[in-house]
Chains A and B, each alone.
Chain A
Amino acid sequence: MQKRKLQILTVVSGVALMASLLSQSPVHGAISTIVITQIPFISFNDIPDSFLIAQMSVPTSSQTVTSDPDGSLGSERFLTIRDTRNCGGLNLQLDTSAFSPTAGLNSGLRTVTSAADLIDGVVENGVKYLSGFAGTQGITAPLNVNDTTFSDPALFTDPPFNTVDNILNGPVDLLQGPLTAPAGRNGYIHIDLSFSLDVPAYTIPGVHYTTLTYTLADDTAGTC
């Protein structure tokens, strides 16, 4: 009796499954499509690595060192954001904790950005769009220096920057994009970063630590 019940159930299930498949099959040769949806999001795809700026003897006069002393283009400086929202703005900022044990070093830590690296993409206002973008995006990189090596310390202090704009004693804007409805934003946004540090004379010996915090946020004016 139990076996009979199971057979009936199997037949009924099979008929139901066939009916279900037939009801969803393409009609008159139409091509069925599969729509893959994903939750729109912004995310860090890659951020620059931690680094040692340089090891030096205790300076008797102020010295400037950069994070790229050899001028090599390393992957460690890449910052890539993924944006799949198709609409809306974003803001990327960089902040730093006070150096430990010498908080005063913060007054000489500077950063600049560039989109002039070897990765293929479209550059607009100092920002590189790697894929999936159409039209002007309107995002700007206020600290862009359009440089490939960052090896010249003057990049961090001379035109068009000075100690007011790019010094890291508070949050600085790396990317500004307070947008409403840009066309087709669904891809990767890319910049490179580099840093320089003024080390004051007679800075106490030892390793001085800091933590850089990259902060990403939606910055949409109005609704999409």
Chain B
Amino acid sequence: MKRFLNTIIGLTLFLSLAQPGRAEFTVVPGEGFDRQFNLQIDAGSSIKAAIVVKNLGNAPIGVKLYGADATHSNQGTFALTTQATEQKHIGTWVKFDEPIRTIYAKEEKIIPFSVIVPPDATPGNYGGGIAVETAPIGTDGQGQTKNAVNVSSRIFVKMFVDVPGEKNFSYEWGGFEYLAPGDMARPRFRFAFKNTGNTIVLAEPKIELKGFPPLKNSIIELPTATLQQGVELDDIIKKWDDAPILGFYVAEATTTFSEFDIASNTKVNSSIVSKTITINLTPDYIIVIMLVVIFGGVSIPIIKIIAGARLRKKCRPYDVAEGDTIESVAKARGIAWKKLAKINGLKPPYGIRAGQKILVPPVKKQ
């Protein structure tokens, strides 16, 4: 009867509090656990544990308690599925006698639960958590939504369950790729990882960039990706925020793969794998400009040499007469005196003397 009444009060509070999402509460594992639940449970067995919920506020709150499977965030970090998601392991193994509770002001409540691993559970390591969630802000007294976008908050404690049996720690590093800006304003890197075993794999990627021009921040670090059994993360994106506009770089991605050991709560069997790619940060229009500059720089002197040789071929010998100067000879043939001096390899002060043989172009027709 008491349990029934408690559930009714909790349900009423859960649905009717004006702004329950603002409730200030905290959640920690019960006695015997530090920060998270690391459990070893045989298939077909169960254990009992507890979670502590403390209401830090001055008004009672209604909370919903449930177990949920792990998933991953957009960056590959550990995340917990929402209750609306289909649950496959921890989300179905965790059972609360009273999943909806009232926690009074300043009250600290120890709430027991069971983890029941079914007999047909396959050996391996599983990730998930115990979530304590408030009712969505924006709901009315009947639990109906009033606003288009409603808000709820939850705090969870991680849970890892080791179902004993044969373990297989294996993974694949599917790819490390550079994504040119294109429609995006910043270049990016993409990683792809896959857990091909039945343990929990931790992947800690890092990128080191070497090239020209030198970079202020040559190391790009990513958060640790947590790969649950059979999970493939093929779209872990990391922006290269301070990428220069121009440059040539070699990007070496190093990923430390480790097995998460539930019993010791540590990383074991770590190994480091590297992949290298080259990056050309030069946009297409810069390449075109560079080709024009290079082609222009090389071709113009060649054109000048060819033109000079052709002109020299047309030239005839001329005996310098008394009173001739380079200017007068050039003027008589309608060319610039400097050009004539160049044809004959004359150096400053460009003097010529009577009887000297020089090459002169034919007289230009008027």
Contacts and interface: CB of A to CB of B under 8 A. Distances in A.
Interface of A: 39, 41-53, 67, 82, 88, 91, 93, 95, 97, 142, 158-160, 162, 164-167, 170-173, 176, 178, 195, 207-223
Closest 10 CB pairs of A and B: A50-B138, A159-B185, A41-B26, A171-B79, A50-B147, A43-B26, A171-B73, A214-B153, A50-B137, A50-B150
Given A142-B75, A178-B223, 9 more contacts: A41-B56, A160-B186, A176-B75, A208-B148, A212-B149, A215-B79, A217-B129, A218-B157, A220-B35
Chain B interface size, as a band, is 35 or more
Contacts, number: 166
Given A207-B148, A210-B149, A217 B24 contact: no
A209 B237 CA distance: 29
Contact of A49 (B137, B155, B158, B183): B137
Contacts of A165: 74, 237, 239
B21 interface: yes
A50 B184 contact: no
B205 interface: no
Nearest to A218: B35
Interface of B: 19, 21-26, 28, 34-36, 54, 56, 71-75, 77-80, 82, 84, 108, 129, 131, 133, 136-138, 145-158, 183-186, 188, 223-224, 235, 237, 239, 241, 265-266
B24 A45 contact: yes
In the complex, which of the residues A50, A67, A162, A170 has the most CB atoms of chain B within 10 Å of its own CB atom? A50
Nearest to B186: A160
Nearest to A216: B155
Given A43-B155, A173-B73, A93 B79 contact: yes
Given A43-B25, A50-B137, A212-B151, A176 B223 contact: yes
Contact of A46 (B22, B145, B223): B22
A216 B79 CA distance: 10
8 contacts: A51-B149, A93-B73, A164-B237, A176-B75, A176-B77, A216-B154, A220-B35, A223-B265
